[in-house]
């Protein structure tokens, strides 16, 4: 147990500990104001205790140097996050979503246990540094087995596509500060595990592994962003968008794995840097957006954007923070999302010119096209989420009577918004910092980044600020002595503009729903009940088909098994005896 105390003295661990603490500080400040809402019905200290345990366990996962402590902390992380998801236990649906999350997270834990057991079998040690020593000797088959187990184990926690269904359920039910931590940090912890196993333990994986990761990443990105586009629940939209960003990171990792295989180390280092940078950026802007959603929920007590609108008048600071987050997520320079987006696209493009195999080129090219479409859709989805929620006129009573937001919540959001700008403008320095590590990991000598690192963004920002100031001054001088009227918006010929003449969230994405609706199982039905109204529904295709059919199979098997279960104690002892013998035989034969 002493090994629990030793911590990893490794750049990758430090980087992720840095991300965890960086996000935790503003979220903690935000929590102070946010929990006042819960004081009436729930126990507040319980939540604070769980959050601290949650963050500590995540740091434990990232810092641990052996498999046992890694798994213990991993389980603590899973269980505390489960209790945080069902914190609002008085709503029955929340419990259902929580149980769903619990099952998924344990599937993940199971795969990881098996994976570390195999690593133990191949190397004879649980210690990471020992595993590292033996890792050169892995055969291709052993690499495949570990890779597949890592993919499922960490993938279920990250939310890659067939295993993503818990994300849009758990995030909306969890309190917003918790979903900020879960989406911003916990997904990154799973990514850390994946990077450690695949890039450090396995080093060079067979080409197929890289191809699988690239394809899964791309599918995750496009599938979840199209789903996000059609959601009207802010937090559900953000949850799907988290899955999209994980898909992007995954695709970049896939490119890197493919390139390592072709021994194009410089480019592989570029793609890995892109993935690691996007981890940091996504952690910052996604937790910012979740905190903003939390503020909206706190002030108006609704998450449905079709009931909101016009919040910019009473929640000015939150509106500005959300605007910054929206710019970052839709890759608008000079905010941070843009820096990593450029690197990811660059690694795609440069990979096309360097790889020699025509099929891999075609694959990377088509994935790149889909990733580009994804970034367009991400712009669409986040503009919807900001524009419909904060701009225009209030669409319901809830959006008119807004509670004031405590100072501490504003400080939390403000810090993250500042970080978004700082990490965006100074991204070249962060990139060169990360690339030292990636160069080192992939065995490239030299201290400078092996790829061209554009410092242009700083120049761009300066020019932009300069010109903006000039035009602003010009505007000030020009508008002296000019009349400025403030009037109602033109109401298309009616007397006054009613809030319902505005576009709603569902109306805003109608063009996309018409073309891509099938991806999100989009259905539109016209109902006649005294008045005519349209009901629009979406559901998760993977959940509908894959999960429900597998549940049916399990149900079928259990009904069959029930027949041999008579409830006699002697029979049960016999079963136990038989299974013991089978287990013993298996152990003797295969271990």
Partner 1 sequence: MKYNLFYFIQSILIIVLSPLFIGILKKMKATLRGYRGSSVIQPYYDLCKLLKKGKVISNRSSFITAIGPIVILSATITTVFFIPVFYTSMEKTIGNLFILMFAFGIVKMFTVLIGLDSSSTFGGMGSSREAFISMMAEPLILFLMIFLYIETNDFNVFHISFINSKVVHYDTAHLITMVTFVIAILSENARIPFDNPETHLELTMMHEAMILDLSGSDLAYVELSSYIKLIVYLIILINCFVPIGIATTFTISALIIGFLTFIFKLLFCLLGIALIETTFAKSRLFRGAELFPAMISMGIVAITLIYIL
Site for partner 1 in 300-359 (CB under 8 A): 309-310, 312-313, 316, 319-320, 323, 326-327, 330-333, 338, 341-342, 345-346, 348-350, 352-353, 358
Task: Tell the smallest beta-carbon distance from residue 497 to partner 1 (Å).
Answer: 6
Q: Between residues 170 and 219, which has the closer beta carbon with respect to partner 1?
A: 219
Query: Do the beta carbons of residue 309 and residue 502 sit within 8 Å?
Result: yes
Q: Between residues 204 and 361, which has the closer beta carbon with respect to partner 1?
A: 361
Residues 5-34 that bind partner 1 (CB under 8 A): none
Query: Do the beta carbons of residue 191 and residue 279 sit within 8 Å?
Result: yes
Residue 139 interacting with partner 1 (CB under 8 A)? no
Residues 406-425 that bind partner 1 (CB under 8 A): none
| Residue 64 DSSP one-character state | B
Instruction: Please name which of 228, 248, 337, 224 lies closest in space to residue 284, comparing C-alpha atoms.
Output: 337
Residues 41-70 that bind partner 1 (CB under 8 A): none
Q: Between residues 265 and 395, which has the closer beta carbon with respect to partner 1?
A: 395
- Chain centroid offset of residue 274 CA: 16
Tokens of 214: 């690239």
Tokens of 182: 């879960």
Residues 98-127 that bind partner 1 (CB under 8 A): none
Tokens of 150: 């890592």
Task: Tell the smallest beta-carbon distance from residue 406 to partner 1 (Å).
Answer: 22
Q: Between residues 25 and 462, which has the closer beta carbon with respect to partner 1?
A: 462
Q: How far is CA 368 from CA 213, 231, 431, 551, in A?
A: 14, 25, 22, 35
Q: Between residues 432 and 440, which has the closer beta carbon with respect to partner 1?
A: 432
Query: Do the beta carbons of residue 48 and residue 136 sit within 8 Å?
Result: no
Q: Which of 510, 521, 536, 541 binds partner 1 (CB under 8 A)?
A: 510
Task: Tell the smallest beta-carbon distance from residue 327 to partner 1 (Å).
Answer: 6
| Residue 406 DSSP one-character state | P
- Chain centroid offset of residue 122 CA: 32
Q: Between residues 203 and 393, which has the closer beta carbon with respect to partner 1?
A: 393
Query: Do the beta carbons of residue 151 and residue 181 sit within 8 Å?
Result: no
Q: Between residues 492 and 553, which has the closer beta carbon with respect to partner 1?
A: 492
Query: Do the beta carbons of residue 308 and residue 315 sit within 8 Å?
Result: no
Task: Tell the smallest beta-carbon distance from residue 334 to partner 1 (Å).
Answer: 9
Q: Between residues 366 and 527, which has the closer beta carbon with respect to partner 1?
A: 366
What are residue 117's phi and psi, to 5 degrees?
-65, -45
Query: Do the beta carbons of residue 218 and residue 243 sit within 8 Å?
Result: no
Residues 250-289 that bind partner 1 (CB under 8 A): none
Query: Do the beta carbons of residue 179 and residue 147 sit within 8 Å?
Result: no
Residues 515-534 that bind partner 1 (CB under 8 A): 515
CA dist., res. 163 & res. 246, Å (int):
12
Task: Tell the smallest beta-carbon distance from residue 54 to partner 1 (Å).
Answer: 35
Residues 463-502 that bind partner 1 (CB under 8 A): 463-464, 467-468, 470-472, 475, 478-479, 482-492, 497, 499, 501-502
CA dist., res. 563 & res. 281, Å (int):
55
Residues 433-462 that bind partner 1 (CB under 8 A): 454-457, 459-460
CA dist., res. 135 & res. 142, Å (int):
10
Alpha helices in 230-264 (DSSP H): 234-261
Kind and range of the H or E run holding 527: strand 523-529
Q: Between residues 472 and 566, which has the closer beta carbon with respect to partner 1?
A: 472
Tokens of 540: 């998760």
Task: Tell the smallest beta-carbon distance from residue 471 to partner 1 (Å).
Answer: 5
- Interface with partner 1 by CB under 8 A: which range of 85-93, 279-287, 369-377, 567-575? 369-377
Q: How many of the chain's residues bind partner 1 (CB under 8 A)?
A: 88
Residues 374-413 that bind partner 1 (CB under 8 A): 375-377, 379-380, 383-384, 386-388, 390-393
Q: Between residues 36 and 313, which has the closer beta carbon with respect to partner 1?
A: 313
């Amino acid at each position: 147990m002493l090994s629990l105390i030793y911590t990893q003295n490794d750049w990758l661990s430090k980087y992720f500990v840095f991300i965890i603490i960086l996000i935790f500080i503003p979220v903690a400040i935000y929590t102070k104001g946010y929990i006042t809402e819960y004081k009436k019905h729930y126990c507040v200290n319980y939540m604070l205790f769980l959050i601290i345990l949650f963050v500590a366990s995540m740091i434990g996962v990232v810092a641990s140097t052996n498999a046992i402590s890694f798994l213990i902390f991993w389980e603590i992380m899973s269980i505390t996050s489960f209790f945080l998801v069902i914190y609002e236990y008085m709503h029955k649906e929340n419990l259902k979503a929580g149980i769903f999350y619990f099952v998924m997270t344990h599937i993940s834990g199971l795969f990881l246990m098996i994976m570390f057991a195999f690593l133990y079998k191949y190397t004879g040690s649980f210690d990471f540094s020992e595993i590292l020593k033996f890792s050169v000797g892995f055969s291709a088959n052993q690499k495949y087995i570990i890779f597949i187990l890592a993919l499922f184990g960490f993938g279920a926690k990250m939310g890659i596509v067939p295993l993503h269904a818990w994300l849009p359920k758990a995030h909306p039910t969890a309190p917003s500060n918790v979903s900020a931590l879960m989406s911003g940090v916990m997904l990154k912890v799973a990514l850390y595990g994946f990077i450690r196993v695949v890039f450090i333990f396995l080093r060079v994986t067979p080409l197929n592994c890289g191809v699988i990761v690239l394809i899964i990443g791309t599918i995750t990105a496009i599938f979840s962003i199209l789903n996000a586009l059609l959601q009207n629940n802010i937090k559900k939209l953000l949850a799907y968008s988290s899955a999209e960003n994980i898909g992007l990171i995954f695709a970049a990792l896939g490119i890197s794995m493919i390139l390592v295989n072709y021994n194009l180390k410089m480019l592989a280092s570029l793609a890995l840097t892109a993935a690691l940078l996007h981890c940091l950026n996504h952690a910052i802007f996604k937790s910012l957006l979740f905190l903003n959603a939390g503020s909206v929920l706190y002030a108006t007590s609704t998450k449905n954007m079709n009931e909101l609108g016009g919040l910019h008048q009473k929640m000015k600071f939150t509106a500005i923070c959300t605007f910054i987050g929206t710019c970052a997520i839709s890759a608008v320079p000079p905010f941070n999302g843009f820096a990593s987006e450029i690197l990811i696209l660059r690694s795609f493009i440069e990979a096309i010119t360097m790889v020699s195999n025509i099929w891999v080129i075609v694959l990377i090219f088509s994935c790149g096209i889909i990733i580009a479409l994804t970034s367009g859709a991400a712009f669409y989805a986040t503009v919807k989420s900001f524009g419909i929620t904060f701009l225009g006129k209030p669409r319901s009573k809830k959006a008119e009577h807004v509670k004031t937001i405590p100072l501490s919540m504003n400080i939390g959001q403000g810090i993250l918004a500042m970080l978004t700008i700082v990490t965006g403008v100074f991204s070249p320095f962060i990139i060169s910092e990360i690339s030292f590590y990636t160069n080192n990991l992939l065995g490239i000598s030299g201290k400078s980044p092996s790829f061209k690192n554009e410092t242009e963004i700083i120049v761009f920002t300066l020019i932009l600020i300069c010109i903006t100031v000039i035009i602003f001054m010009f505007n000030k001088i020009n508008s002296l002595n000019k009349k400025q009227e403030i009037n109602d918006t033109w109401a298309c010929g009616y007397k006054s503009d009613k809030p319902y003449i505005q576009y709603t969230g569902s109306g805003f994405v109608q063009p996309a729903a018409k073309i891509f609706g099938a991806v999100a199982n989009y259905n539109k039905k016209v109902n006649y009940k005294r008045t005519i109204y349209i009901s629009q529904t979406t559901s998760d295709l993977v959940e509908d088909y894959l999960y429900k059919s597998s549940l049916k199979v399990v149900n079928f098997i259990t009904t069959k098994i029930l027949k041999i279960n008579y409830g006699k104690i002697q029979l049960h002892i016999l079963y136990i005896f038989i299974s013991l013998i089978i287990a013993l035989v298996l152990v003797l034969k295969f271990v």
